[in-house]
């Protein structure tokens, strides 16, 4: 799961619940290819009723903050909830109450590059890229294997 470092959890929760933006450092690869470990993601508070399916949201999941894609709105404990899933995960996370939603991811900084990931066009395109990424695994593996075959070999005599 894409989660923040444990030291940053309390200050992230406090900032987002107070209505302030927060910078989230991705710790895992569950949102690849959109988010990579080490990426810095800007989270802005957002009321749950303004979220759209396909948005990347920050959810307070007890001992960690999750940064996953919103994929549904099932009822939870008699009220509306949210269902999230990492782009690289096979199944969804456990449903959460809408009060657990802290905000929406709006931009990503990866090294010198920065790009926005919110918006009506971008979010569905990134969601589609996440769905297609696993299908490219055989081609990526073949390319790595071909690179190894074509790499210059060292002479064992030297």
Q: If you search the block for the tokens 């969804």, which residue do you land on?
A: 92
Q: Hey, what are 71's tokens?
A: 């994929």
Burial class (CB in 10 A: 0-12, 13-18, 19+), 82: buried
Q: If you search the block for the tokens 């790009």, which residue do you land on?
A: 115
**Pairing status of strand 79-85 against strand 96-97:** antiparallel
CA dist 118 and 107 (Å) reads: 7
Model's pTM, two decimal places? 0.71
Which pLDDT score, from 0 to 100, does residue 49 have? Answer: 85
Does residue 133 contact residue 88 with C-beta atoms inside 8 Å? yes
CATH number of 6-148: 2.10.109.10
Which pLDDT score, from 0 to 100, does residue 133 have? Answer: 58
Which pLDDT score, from 0 to 100, does residue 45 have? Answer: 94
- Block means of pLDDT (10 residues each) for the chain, 158 residues, are 56 88 91 89 90 90 87 83 89 90 92 81 58 66 64 60
Which residue(s) pair with 35 in the sheet? none
Sign (positive/negative) of CA torsion 10, 13, 17, 18? positive
Which pLDDT score, from 0 to 100, does residue 158 have? Answer: 55
Distance from the Cα of residue 25 to its chain's centroid:
10
Write a three-state SS string for 112-135: CEEEECCCCCHHHHHHHHHHHHHH
CA dist 122 and 52 (Å) reads: 12
Which pLDDT score, from 0 to 100, does residue 74 have? Answer: 87
């Amino acid at each position: 799961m894409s989660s923040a470092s444990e030291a940053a959890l309390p200050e992230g929760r406090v900032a987002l619940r107070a209505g302030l933006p927060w910078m989230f450092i991705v710790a895992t690869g569950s949102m690849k290819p959109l988010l990579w470990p080490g990426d810095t993601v800007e989270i802005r508070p957002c009321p749950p009723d303004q979220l759209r399916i396909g948005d990347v949201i920050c959810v307070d999941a007890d001992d960690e903050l999750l940064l996953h894609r919103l994929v549904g709105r099932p009822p939870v404990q008699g009220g509306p909830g949210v269902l999230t899933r990492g782009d690289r995960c096979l199944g969804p996370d456990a449903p959460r109450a809408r009060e657990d939603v802290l905000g929406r991811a709006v931009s990503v900084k990866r090294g010198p590059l920065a790009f926005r990931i919110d918006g009506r066009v971008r979010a569905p395109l990134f969601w589609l890229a996440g769905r297609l990424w696993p299908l490219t695994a055989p081609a990526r593996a073949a390319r790595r294997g071909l690179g190894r075959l074509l790499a210059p070999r060292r002479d064992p005599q030297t």
